[in-house]
Amino acid sequence: MPQPEREQWSTRLGFVMAAVGSAVGLGNMWRFPYLTAENGGAAFVLLYILTTVFIGLPIMLAEFTLGRGSKRSPIQALASFGGDGWKPLGGLFVAAGFLILAYYGVIAGWTFRYAADAVFHGFAGSPAARFQAAAGGWDAVLWQVLFMGATIAIVAAGVRGGIERTSLVLMPALALIVIGLDVYAATLPGAGAGYAFYLKTSFADVLSWRVLADAAGQAFFSLSLGMGAMLTYASYLSRDDDLPQEAVVIAGSNFAFAFVAGLMVFPIIFAFGLSGEVGESAVGALFISLPKAFASIGAAGRIVGFLFFTAMLVAALTSALSLLEVVASSAIDGLGWSRRTAALVCGGLITALGIPAAFDLDILDLMDKVAGNVLLLVGGFFLAIFVGWVAPDPTGEVRKGASSTGWLPAWRGFLRWVVPALLLIVLWFSTQEAWDSLTTLVSHLTGG
Ligand code: TRP
């Protein structure tokens, strides 16, 4: 099939911003702070940094290498380095993108609605009832469709004109909003207790395989690894950039966003005496406790709430772009579709797949556990094996443009042995979690 001229990022900064946009998402704004508070505070932060460095960075570099080296979307990239037998792994990536964006779009729709609520109604009234209304049924579908429509429109506008331009504007804006809310939160009377809850150090808590698995799984999800998103973005690189350096900048920014998100969330919750509710459920704290806090701030709470949910929405949007790009670029390269058709058809199908999750939180949870935990880790496992053992000369590809190269043999050794072994441990735990979600869903469907 004749390949049309492949699109490219216009600047190095554009690529880095788009990749940071992919990484920084709902996983940073809430999942990281929550895991940290639950699992040993500052000790967990340390563990998370270690798993980012020793599992996240090697895999990110592996994805970059395949993308830039082949200049193809994931399925063809794998085939060009390892033969057609590896195409099913690319198929798994596309499937993961489908499934993740399906439910991610639903949650993003809630944040969209909450941001709009802040403007038009404020947060008065029962927060639980508000969440019920927002998260179940056709209302949820409406906001999901609006969110997906924006995602589709930006991806259809192209790599440079859509994704790059959006990321260059939104990521600095997101940083400003989060820093602003951090400063605001620091002025609240309960701030100290919030920080203490977030970062209270307990090294005993992190000395368990399950906590290691949580940290590694979070690092993996948060860096958008294991489904070819970073691979696809790197395939639009034109010149031979310094890939290791860029990977470090992206992972470092991702960590920074996650860490400072915790500095805004917990002081706000603690300042309004809502700490008792934090342990109940991650989603509940975000969409129920925080709005309660915003309501008790009065008029200013609408502004703070608007900024908070807008930040969530922006973070989710730039992540959704890369999820859709994986699927759409596969249709463009593999089926010869135009970008507009690919964005619209793939985005439309993904939206439809998300509708059951808009009606039932147990379905949403199951999709999250299966795709977000299991499929990504399986994808990462085989990526490590592929670049470690199969691809002919990955270190040669990294060497182009890299400023320091002495550690490259160690990188490959890591991909061969250490990363697959660690990912198997993580998979062991996350498969159990996915199984639990499945049994919950089945018992609730059969028990009425
Ligand atoms: N990194 C995103 C977040 O933290 C979620 C995510 C997981 C993702 N895998 C992805 C985003 C792949 C884009 C592509 O919320």
Q: Is 300 exposed, middle or buried (0-12, 13-18, 19+ CB in 10 A)?
A: exposed
Nearest-angstrom CA–CA distance, 117 and 152: 24
Write b or e for each residue in 14-29: b if 16 or more Cβ atoms lie within 10 A of its Cβ, otherwise e: bbbbbbbbbbbbbbbb
Residue 278, pLDDT score? 58
Query: Would you say residue 430 lies in a domain?
Result: yes
Segments in 83-137 forming alpha helices (H)? 87-120, 127-134
Query: Would you say residue 4 lies in a domain?
Result: no
Angle between helices 209-222 and 376-385 (to 10 degrees): 80
The answer to whether the beta carbons of residues 432 and 213 sit under 8 Å apart is: no
Query: Would you say residue 318 lies in a domain?
Result: yes
Nearest-angstrom CA–CA distance, 280 and 38: 11
Question: What's the CA-to-centroid distance between 316 and ligand 1, angstroms?
Answer: 9
Write b or e for each residue in 105-117: b if 16 or more Cβ atoms lie within 10 A of its Cβ, otherwise e: bbbbbbbbbbbbb
Nearest-angstrom CA–CA distance, 326 and 323: 6
Residue 31, pLDDT score? 86
Residue 344, pLDDT score? 98
Q: Dig out the tokens for 99 from the structure.
A: 């499934």
Residue 257, pLDDT score? 97
Q: Dig out the tokens for 117 from the structure.
A: 């609520």
The answer to whether the beta carbons of residues 167 and 319 sit under 8 Å apart is: no
Q: What Rg value do the Cα atoms of the chain yield, rounded?
A: 21
Query: Would you say residue 7 lies in a domain?
Result: no
CATH number of the CATH domain containing 151 = 1.20.1740
Give the count of alpha carbons within 13 A of 104, CB side only: 31
Q: How many CB atoms lie within 10 A of CB 334?
A: 18
Query: Would you say residue 1 lies in a domain?
Result: no
Query: Would you say residue 270 lies in a domain?
Result: yes
Return the amino acid letter for 125. Answer: G
Q: How far is CA 219 from CA 226, 323, 373, in A?
A: 11, 17, 11
- Among 107, 224, 283, 350, say which to mutate for ligand 1: greatest number of ligand atoms within 8 Å of CB: 224
Q: Helix (H) and strand (E) counts for the chain?
A: 24, 0
Query: Would you say residue 6 lies in a domain?
Result: no
Provide DSSP, 72-85. S-HHHHHHHHH-GG
0.85 exceeded by pTM: yes
Residue 251, pLDDT score? 98
Cβ of 258 less than 6 Å from ligand 1: no
Domain count for the chain: 1
Question: What's the CA-to-centroid distance between 232 and ligand 1, angstroms?
Answer: 13
Residue 19, pLDDT score? 98
Query: Would you say residue 3 lies in a domain?
Result: no
Nearest-angstrom CA–CA distance, 342 and 364: 25
Return the amino acid letter for 64. Answer: F
Give Cα 229 to chain centroid, integer Å: 10
Question: What's the CA-to-centroid distance between 312 and ligand 1, angstroms?
Answer: 13
Return the amino acid letter for 341. Answer: T
Residue 373, pLDDT score? 82
Give Cα 364 to chain centroid, integer Å: 16
Of 163, 172, 157, nearest in space to 11 by CA: 163
Cβ of 82 less than 6 Å from ligand 1: no
Cβ of 27 less than 6 Å from ligand 1: yes
Q: What is the H or E stretch that residue 384 is in?
A: helix 376-385
Give Cα 173 to chain centroid, integer Å: 18
Structural domain boundaries enclosing 429 = 12-446
pLDDT in tens, the chain (448 residues): 445 578 999 999 999 999 999 999 999 988 898 889 888 899 999 999 999 999 999 999 999 999 999 999 999 999 999 999 999 999 999 999 999 999 999 999 999 999 999 999 899 888 888 888 888 889 999 999 999 999 999 999 999 999 999 999 999 999 999 999 999 999 998 899 999 989 999 888 888 888 998 899 999 999 999 999 999 999 999 888 999 999 999 999 999 999 999 999 889 888 887 766 655 566 667 888 888 889 988 888 999 999 999 999 999 999 999 999 999 999 999 999 999 999 999 999 999 999 999 999 889 989 998 998 899 999 999 999 999 999 999 999 999 999 999 999 999 999 999 999 999 999 999 999 899 989 999 998 898 5
Cβ of 363 less than 6 Å from ligand 1: no
Cβ of 380 less than 6 Å from ligand 1: no
3-state secondary structure of 187: coil
Cβ of 322 less than 6 Å from ligand 1: yes
The answer to whether the beta carbons of residues 63 and 234 sit under 8 Å apart is: yes
Question: What's the CA-to-centroid distance between 54 and ligand 1, angstroms?
Answer: 19
